[in-house]
Amino acid sequence: MRDNKKEVISYIIFGVLTTVINLIVYVILTKASGMDYRIATTIAWIVSIVFAFITNKKFVFGNVNNGFSVMIRELMLFVAFRALSFVLDIIVLVVLIELLQFNDLISKGITNVLVVIFNYVASKMYIFKSSKKIKGV
């Protein structure tokens, strides 16, 4: 139980950092350069997914590199589930911004909460469940 609590806390910490990276990239692209929010969200997603894969694998779920094939499998699953969460992100953003006329930054915050929850469940249940763990992480 203690390991599970530590895992959840680590996931929350790195999830917050991933979200911060996502938001910073998004704000820079939309506010500083005037880029469309959908394109900015796409770029922010790519940047944050790289950060998330590395931190989730090593620090949250304590997985060691078990060889090329395992790493490729994890990366493919990670990207596939993150692609699903990206679709969730875009759909909810469009609904909140275009249909309900919410502020784009508030909408982005709401979608990030939903995405973090979805991604934790996917990582825990499917992506990193079969790899060996690093002791003490």
Whole-number pLDDT of residue 17:
94
Confidence of residue 19 (pLDDT cuts 50, 70, 90): confident
Rounded to 5 degrees, φ, ψ at 136 are 85, 0
In DSSP terms, which residues pair with 63 in a beta bridge? Answer: 133
pLDDT digits (tens, 9 = 90+) for 78-135: 999 989 988 999 999 999 999 999 999 999 899 988 988 898 889 888 888 755 454 4
User: Is 112 in contact with 22 (CB distance < 8 Å)?
Assistant: yes
Is the pTM higher than 0.85? The answer reads no
d(CA 96, CA 52): 25
Angle among Cα 121, 93, 118 to the nearest 5 degrees reads 0
Domain ranges across the chain: 2-127
DSSP percent split of the chain into helix, strand, coil, nearest 5: 80, 0, 20
Are residues 116 and 81 in contact, defined by beta-carbon separation less than 8 angstroms?
no
- In degrees and rounded to multiples of 5, residue 62 shows phi and psi of 60, 40
